[in-house]
Structure 1
Amino acid sequence: MTNQTQLFEAALGIKAPWYMQGVNFATELTIAVDFVAGSRFAYPGVPGEHPVHDTVIKRLRHLNFFQFDCYLEVRVPRVRLPDGAVRLVEPDWMGKLDGFTLLFEALVLTLCREMTFAAVARPVNLSWHRVKAICDRYVDVALATTDLSRVSVVAIDETSCRRGHDYVSLVADMDQRRVVFVTPGKDAGVIERFARHLKAHNAMSAQIRSVSIDMSAAFIKGVDEHLPQARVTFDRFHVVAHASKALDDVRRAQQKTAPALKGMRWLLLKDAGKLNLAQLTDLEALVSQYPTNRTARAWMYREQLREILDRKQIHVVSKMLRRWCTGVMRSRVEPMKDVAHMILRHFDGIVAWTQTRQTNGFIEAINGLFQAAKRKARGYASFKTMRTVLFLIAGKLDFSALNPHAS
């Protein structure tokens, strides 16, 4: 055996009974791989080693040799089993998708976690569809073996998948900070499908003890029906966001008769702690008009709400929040009255925040990453593609059981 042969076999991870038969280099590198004559091979699930019946040639894309594409042409055996069946025996280094080695697939997976499929396809000299097919295969196999038996705290949110009103919904395991389920739509069926998904992955819907959602009537209905033991938490930041929108609605209406309010939108919506001295001066001047200025009162109501929801004693928060709602509904700040009515309709879930401190912040950050990836790819044409991308970004899937070179 020459030093060159030993070098190539070591680099490729080829071990007995496999050996490198020859190398052909033209515009690409082609390495012929064979096995020792008379070898017998094991087959999964069937005891013993079995004789070779015949062989087929498999052409596998491997990592580049410098700047040149590299292929392995492998003579792969088909063995005859004791029951007379003939089965193909693949080498350990053959990939999960026909036509690739494990090392090549690991490279594609690593790149696709940071780049679009089209961007990865160019340097590896493959079609967009082949790159996507590798990622689809690994995500599908990894998800099929996912164990959800320890999932108990989840967050659910939707994100747009294309222009119009097409949505996908995500469910995240908040303890592990990972996406565990993706499905089309944003109706109550999302929760029903998630409950079925739990049952298929060594879990039960009754084990979900806490769920964070927005105030979607469909999600609330779905949780009530399909996650019966879950305590619902409405994210404190969603509640404050409704109050901020009401504040802006008040400002918009009042600025028609009070031109001084024009240009103050971001001043009113920003956290007061992030304002500079000049902005604080303007804000204090406005707030000083609290008795006669509806925008100033709306700002005060929003800040009071924020302060109440920052507290941690549930009985104190309940009492103060009901008092806040009563005061707002007696006022003449109409948009803020709508917020008070909303809070009373979802009171238990809003107050639950004081104990669970559970938010949708993580899953909304994932939505942001997905939207950025979608813009780079100029949109995704199918749900299957979107699902694969979301799991590559935030699924924390462990591919090492499928491919020792992937993580």
Structure 2
Amino acid sequence: MPPFEEIAAFISEKPFVATIIGVSALVALALAYVFGRVAWRASSTFFTRYVAPRPVEDVLTVVAACIATGVSAQGMWRFSEDVLGLDGPLRLLLFAFIEIAIITSAVRARRNMRENYSAGIDGIAVWVLTCLTAVLSSMDAGSLPEAVFRLAAPLVAAWLWERGMAIERHRIRGTGRINWRLTPERMLVRLGLAEVNDRNASEVDAHRRLTRVALAAKKAKALREGGAPERKVRAALAKLDKAMDQAVEHTGLAVDQTRQEALLAQIAALYNTSKLVDADPRVPWEQNHQPVPARALPPVLAELVDDDDVVYDTTPQVVDSAERARLMRAARQYWDRQIAKRIVPRTIDIAQEVGISLTIAREWRALWKLEPQAHSLIEALYQEHGIVDTGAFPAIADDRVLADTK
């Protein structure tokens, strides 16, 4: 840098040139300040809009993928010169066409994921083009380590992109990845080297020994009832005796009530296998509600009930919470009105009035009849008329109701 005296001499000798240089320097500083401020605002906006809302792992994934793509592009730069013979501006324009195609396919795949919930053909194109650029870059390598490095860099970028797509796929669909049928965990479980739950070794061993006893007992019972030769029956009983001895020794079967119940449950299940053929379980989603006749009255009260009082339950048994609350309010209002008239409604009356099933009406009536006023009426009916509250006794007319006994 020239000393201050030389700068002063230059300004005194060439004041016009010095003025132009000073003004140019000031303009350059002003432009640098303006461009720096614009760049700062742009970078802040970019960070606030695109970087800050994303998780840290997504940002690191993009950075690492960019670095890996740069390594791949550098390999294609050398490949285009050494193999294709490109030089100058043509080399600058054509060397990274595969990397640009990869980025384009990745962007399209992400858009397809957001719109169609699948990466589509663009997701496949990302992997195909990545493998292509990896092979081309490694072909111009000078050594085996360099070839492996150039082959691995694009694949790392594609893997990071795939993991980012998997996270976004899970975020959009709300589902995880597929569950492979052949995994190391399933193979170990299949071979008996691993457990599918969190039982410890002693619990697993006890369960297996108890199961061995139950199976031996079933086999011995089947041979004896099937008329098998005495030799086979004795062998089966000996096997059962041995399994029982081991179970008592290693599981504490003689003193552990829980394991005794578990063994009996297994034996009961194995002995009654044939009854499964005759089982007729009801389909849980079946909505066919057959009419249920009202509970029969005692013989003493049958003559007091008209034939028209027999009601069938045709109301569906399953309702939502809001509908159930509405029906309960209506039934309660009817109950209070009848109790105010000193009449105890029957289960059938409540079911007819509100339109509910006999089961629900009987359940609510069982709760409400314990209240003092209803209980006093029921007690009076029993003492004066001998009517036992079964939920189906006839209502007594107003002129036959006794006064409240308190």
Superposition TM-score tier, normalisation by shorter sequence:
under 0.3
- Of Structure 1 and Structure 2, which has the larger fraction of its residues in helix? 2
Q: Which has the higher contact order (CA 8 A, sep 6+)?
A: 1
Question: TM-score normalized by structure 1?
Answer: 0.25
Q: Which has the larger radius of gyration?
A: 2
TM-score by length of 2: 0.25
Higher strand share: 1
